[in-house]
Amino acid sequence: MRKRTEPVTLEHELCAASGSSSSGSAAAALDTDCRLKQNLRLAGKGPAEPRSGADAGMKRALGRRKSLWFRLRKIILCVLGFYIAIPFLVKLCPGIQAKLIFLNFVRVPYFIDLKKPQDQGLNHTCNYYLQPEDDVTIGVWHTIPSIWWKNAQGKDQMWYEDALASNHPIILYLHGNAGTRGGDHRVELYKVLSSLGYHVVTFDYRGWGDSVGTPSERGMTYDALHVFDWIKARSGENPVYIWGHSLGTGVATNLVRRLCERETPPDALILESPFTNIREEAKSHPFSVIYRYFPGFDWFFLDPITSSGIKFANDENVKHISCPLLILHAEDDPVVPFHLGRKLYSIAAPSRSFRDFKVQFVPFHSDLGYRHKYIYKSPELPRILREFLGKSELERQH
Catalytic residue numbers read: 246, 333, 372
* Residues contacting 212, CB < 8 A, separation 6+: 135, 136, 137, 138, 206
Rounded Cα gap, residues 67 and 75, in angstroms: 12
Is the CB of residue 296 less than 8 Å from the CB of residue 90? no
Residue 154 sits at φ, ψ, to 5 deg, of 80, 5
> In 3-state terms, what secondary structure has residue 119?
helix
> In 3-state terms, what secondary structure has residue 133?
strand
Q: Which of 203, 238, 246 is nearest to 224 (CA)?
A: 203
Angle value at C-alpha 41, between 40 and 43, nearest 5 degrees: 60
Q: Distances in Å between the alpha carbon of 79 and those of 64, 70, 92, 365? A: 22, 14, 20, 39
Q: Which of 231, 226, 287 is nearest to 251 (CA)?
A: 226
At residue 163, what is the residue type?
A: A
- Residue 299: how many other CB atoms lie within 10 Å: 11
Q: Which of 186, 230, 185, 176 is nearest to 208 (CA)?
A: 176
Q: Is 177 left (phi over 0), alpha (psi -120 to 50) or beta?
A: beta
Q: Is the dihedral of CA 299, 207, 131, 151 positive or negative?
A: negative
Q: Where do the H-state alpha helices sit in the chain?
A: 2-92, 95-102, 149-152, 157-163, 184-195, 217-235, 247-261, 278-284, 297, 303-307, 314-317, 338-348, 381-389, 391-395
